[in-house]
Amino acid sequence: MPARSAVDAVVIGSGPNGLAAAITLARQGLEVSVVEGRSTPGGGLRTAELTLPGFRHDVCSAIHPLGMASPFLQSLDLAAHGVRWIHPEFPLVQPLDGGGAIVQERSVRATAERLGRDRKAYMGLMEPLVDSAPHLYETLLGPLQIPKHPFSLIRFGLRALLSADQLAKLSFRTPEARALLAGHGAHSILPLEAPGTAAFAMMLAISAHAVGWPVAERGSQAIADALVSILEALGGRVICDTPVRKLEDLPRARVYLFDTSPKVMESICGDRLPENYRAGLRRFRHGPAAFKVDWALSGPIPWSNEAARRTACLHIGPTFGEIAESERFAWQGKISDRPFLIVAQQSVVDLTRAPAGKHTGWGYAHVPNGSNEDALARIESQIERFAPGFRDLILARHVTNPAAMEAYNPNYVGGDIAGGVQDLAQLYARPVARLDPYSTPARDIFICSASTPPGGGVHGMCGYHAARSALRRFGIKAARPL
């Protein structure tokens, strides 16, 4: 355990939000220590040789549209600290039965051209939203707030409260355009009939055009390493191998910020938090889990569709109905025989990920929270369906089921990788409904993880906003908003 020396702030957990909080505080001259339970920093940003030597797999996050959209991450000189974003030719490809594919290009127009009868509808929906993307990110990647650019938000918000199902039916006639929206909407990890899932669908579709869906060269770990390097340059430090169980384990500090699940924060803080707030934390809901597989491959995934070989990210689910059923099943305690998959093939664009001529694969399905059912065969059949011969290329695989996910990182309660359900009731009122959701009734305790607004993903915005809330407690107004 670290010596109980005094610092201004201690952050518990070194995920992107913990590091973002630490950097935001250190930028204001505060002395900050980050305490991490595992042997390396990074939380959801680690990269490791999970299968065979020389095969570098992103343990959690792989594709970074939210990183590109994040006003906080974009305010840092990540390039100077070693991050190189690699943009594939196409941000996203969604293979279809029979060898076709839905291809989302960087250009709205080029994407629309591929959507036949929905060409005009796609342009009409996406063009104004992509034009106002920076304003949308500023407002939506944070707590509920009065928007600085209300007109941009109104255009988005009128549709955002719909379900992805309603938006698809209202906007599009072709099964391809509807399936494209379904794949994006499924990142909410909610049934696609749930109100608000249209917002996820639109945000991710907009980001493909506005900022792209890159991977980080050498793996997502490069982003974590850069954040640590920036923090250290500001005088902060990260202490690893220190799982925190009680507040007394920590260096003395004026303020503590938890990059943890509400459950972990509650157990560490105990009666330093009043009972009614603790009861609120215990009511926090977690949703379906991820069942993830990493593959070491002897060659690139042999997608039938040629465009699918020229992207880093694929959505596997050819129709709205198939994707919707898969997501609904995860909420009903079942796993679809044809689960919706998010697949990444980083080595196609980043040669550092595998030995020469070899490749890595990364993919997961949404399954019921805590499920111990084996989804491996169903996941591999889904890939084989669109890439015949895939199984023959597998040299080794690493499987992470929901229990292993939580064992790896206690923030993934029951395997929930989004830091808690992101429905309308809990997206902004997370972890409990408070005017300032990052603060707690204890003056020196804050929460900064993905269990605060704006929720899951590598953007650091939860940490940034939590740190600003802590700075207000210190009576320090952060120099300038991002």
Ligand X SMILES: Cc1cc2nc3c(=O)[nH]c(=O)nc-3n(C[C@H](O)[C@H](O)[C@H](O)COP(=O)(O)OP(=O)(O)OC[C@H]3O[C@@H](n4cnc5c(N)ncnc54)[C@H](O)[C@@H]3O)c2cc1C
What does DSSP assign to residue 220?
Answer: T
The nearer residue to ligand X, 165 or 402, going by C-beta atoms, is: 402
Interaction between residue 449 and ligand X (CB under 6 A): yes
Q: CB of 100: closest distance to ligand X in angstroms?
A: 25
Quick one: which of 9, 43, 236, 353 contacts ligand X (CB under 6 A)?
43
Burial 149-167 (b: 16+ CB within 10 A, else e): eeebbebbeebbebbbbbb
Q: Which amino acid would we find at residue 62?
A: A
Interaction between residue 66 and ligand X (CB under 6 A): yes
Interaction between residue 290 and ligand X (CB under 6 A): yes
Q: Which stretch binds ligand X (CB under 6 A): 137-145, 256-264, 314-322, 324-332?
A: 256-264
Q: Which stretch binds ligand X (CB under 6 A): 2-10, 31-39, 76-84, 203-211?
A: 31-39
Long-range contacts of 381-384 (CB under 8 A, 24+ apart): 381/338, 382/316, 382/338, 382/339, 382/341, 383/301, 383/316, 383/341, 383/343
Interaction between residue 345 and ligand X (CB under 6 A): no
Q: Based on C-alpha coordinates, what's the Rg of the chain? A: 21
Interaction between residue 237 and ligand X (CB under 6 A): no
Q: Beta-strand (E) ranges in 166-319?
A: 215-216, 237-239, 253-258, 289-297, 313-316
Interaction between residue 446 and ligand X (CB under 6 A): no
Which H or E element spans position 168? Answer: helix 164-171
Q: Which amino acid would we find at residue 310?
A: R
The nearer residue to ligand X, 78 or 115, going by C-beta atoms, is: 78
| 3-class state of residue 86 by DSSP | strand
Interaction between residue 12 and ligand X (CB under 6 A): yes
Q: Which stretch binds ligand X (CB under 6 A): 226-234, 386-394, 448-456, 467-475?
A: 448-456
Interaction between residue 411 and ligand X (CB under 6 A): yes
Interaction between residue 44 and ligand X (CB under 6 A): yes
Count of residues in contact with ligand X, rule CB under 6 A:
39
| 3-class state of residue 460 by DSSP | coil
Interaction between residue 230 and ligand X (CB under 6 A): no
Interaction between residue 456 and ligand X (CB under 6 A): yes
How many C-beta atoms lie closer than 10 Å to residue 478's C-beta?
Answer: 17
Interaction between residue 437 and ligand X (CB under 6 A): no
464 CB-side CA count, 13 A: 22
Give residue 272's Cα distance to chain centre: 31
Is the Cβ–Cβ distance between 302 and 391 less than 8 Å?
no
Q: At what angle do helices 320-331 and 175-185 cross, to 10 degrees?
A: 30
Interaction between residue 311 and ligand X (CB under 6 A): no
Interaction between residue 33 and ligand X (CB under 6 A): no
Quick one: which of 259, 325, 350, 380 contacts ligand X (CB under 6 A)?
259
Q: CB of 257: closest distance to ligand X in angstroms?
A: 11
CA distance 103 to 113: 10
CA distance 266 to 57: 32
The nearer residue to ligand X, 264 or 301, going by C-beta atoms, is: 264
CA distance 427 to 406: 21
Q: CB of 154: closest distance to ligand X in angstroms?
A: 27
Give residue 338's Cα distance to chain centre: 23
**Which residues neighbour 98 within 8 Å (Cβ) at sequence distance 6 or greater?**
none
Is the Cβ–Cβ distance between 369 and 287 less than 8 Å?
yes
Interaction between residue 37 and ligand X (CB under 6 A): yes
Binding mask 371-410 for ligand X (x = CB under 6 A): --------------------------------------xx
Q: CB of 268: closest distance to ligand X in angstroms?
A: 6
Q: Which stretch binds ligand X (CB under 6 A): 32-40, 101-109, 117-125, 135-143?
A: 32-40
CA distance 74 to 135: 14
Q: CB of 120: closest distance to ligand X in angstroms?
A: 31
Interaction between residue 339 and ligand X (CB under 6 A): no
Q: Which stretch binds ligand X (CB under 6 A): 11-19, 167-175, 275-283, 369-377?
A: 11-19
Q: CB of 4: closest distance to ligand X in angstroms?
A: 16
The nearer residue to ligand X, 125 or 448, going by C-beta atoms, is: 448
| 3-class state of residue 378 by DSSP | helix
Q: Where along the sequence are the contacts to ligand X (CB under 6 A)? A: 12-18, 35-38, 43-44, 60-64, 66, 243-244, 259-260, 264, 290, 292, 364, 409-412, 417, 419, 449-450, 456-458, 462
